[in-house]
Structure 1
């Protein structure tokens, strides 16, 4: 906003002490902005009053362009100046509030990240990773043990020594197939993948974590394809 000189503003004389007190209490930019708003506001109301006086004091039959257009132009110019000053002040307040808000948020997030990555959170982050790793590992071990127990319960009993050779060979074939299915189950692959990623997160950087995850996924896919080919043969 442009600086306004108080003596150039048509204020009443009894308002001069008030403006002197405001100028001594407020910072210069705030005082200039307030003075600019008051100046444009008084100019707008003065133009509106002049237009109304010109219309009221004259006969409607005597109205012509020379009497109506000049006050109307003055009123329009005062309105545009006042609206521009209000928009500028509103934009300044909103921008300042936005900068303060996001500055506080960015400072808080940066402080939390620095504390977590530094010595303050050095024991907390690995502890949380280890706790999650142990929980997931325990759950998958329980699930794998339950699946193996259920499959073992559903399997046929081992043939006795005096049974025929065909029964022994059939039982051995089924046992081999069941062991291969258990070792190549999706739960086992997921358990190995998550456990390896958590271990790498505990010891390494994010780049090594992503690289190890891709390598593990690629190795699992190759292992599954080779197992399918061997079973097909």
Structure 2
């Protein structure tokens, strides 16, 4: 018996007609295939058991027993394949849905935290990385504290409030006003550090907290001193 040429009994026609109108076409096709393979499996099992039960074991022959067994295995493998494929699709969909909700919640919480920080401090933000690094350092060492217990100086502290920023002059304004605006911008830029600098400073603090060794503190002190002195002042720093 070929499973592809198997016809459903007329008993199922009213039910299938109703389901064809009520269900989407892909779902109805899947249900129809499952029903066809299930009935094929049942009929193959009956065709296998009927001759075996009606005759003695000495009269069993291979041409009578082998076709129902092959049909039974074919229907069973088809049903197993449909079940595994459908269950994998459902699990994958729920996996994407779960992690999409988790990531969306984390992004929304991070956005809310950054927005609340900007509203409370009135300081413009320089990026998400610096906010996350500062948040991690506050949880590890305490509020505005570094790894050795001292006060952590934020390089953003000198940045100007948003309400005090000078508006950029129009192209038709005077040259003196453009020059004054450029001078103010140049004075404000050094006080605002990049995300990489802030992240590296926080990484130094995390490393010091993990190791807690005297050599690590000495190394961090030397690195900070090197950052303070440019190359031209290296000899002066060495002499001190």
Q: TM-score, normalised by structure 2?
A: 0.55
Q: Secondary structure at the match of 2:8?
A: coil
Picking from 104, 111, 115, the partner of 1:114 is 111
Q: Secondary structure at the match of 1:190?
A: coil
Larger radius of gyration: 1
Q: Is the 8 A contact 1:44 1:79 kept in 2?
A: yes
Q: Is the 8 A contact 1:44 1:78 kept in 2?
A: yes
Counterparts of residues 183-194 of structure 1 (less than 5 Å): 190-192=148-150, 194=151
Q: What is the deviation of 1:215? A: 7.7
Q: Is the 8 A contact 1:33 1:89 kept in 2?
A: no
Picking from 198, 207, 221, the partner of 1:209 is 198
Q: Secondary structure at the match of 1:11?
A: coil
Q: Does 1:44 align with 2:41?
A: yes
Picking from 76, 81, 99, the partner of 1:79 is 76
Q: What is the deviation of 1:26? A: 1.8
Greater per-residue helix proportion: 1
Q: Secondary structure at the match of 1:195?
A: coil
Q: Deviation per CA, 1:193-219, whole angstroms, max 9, x where unpaired?
A: x512xx236665541213345788645
Provide structure 1 residue ranges, at least 5 long, that are not aligned to the other structure. Answer: 141-186, 224-233
In structure 2, C-alpha distance between the alignment counterparts of 1:105 and 1:206, rounded to whole Å: 26
2:175 counterpart residue number: none
Q: Secondary structure at the match of 1:123?
A: helix
In structure 2, C-alpha distance between the alignment counterparts of 1:113 and 1:84, rounded to whole Å: 43
1:123 counterpart residue number: 119
Aligned length, in residue pairs: 164
In structure 2, C-alpha distance between the alignment counterparts of 1:26 and 1:53, rounded to whole Å: 37
RMSD after superposition: 3.9
Picking from 29, 33, 43, the partner of 2:30 is 33
Q: Secondary structure at the match of 1:29?
A: helix
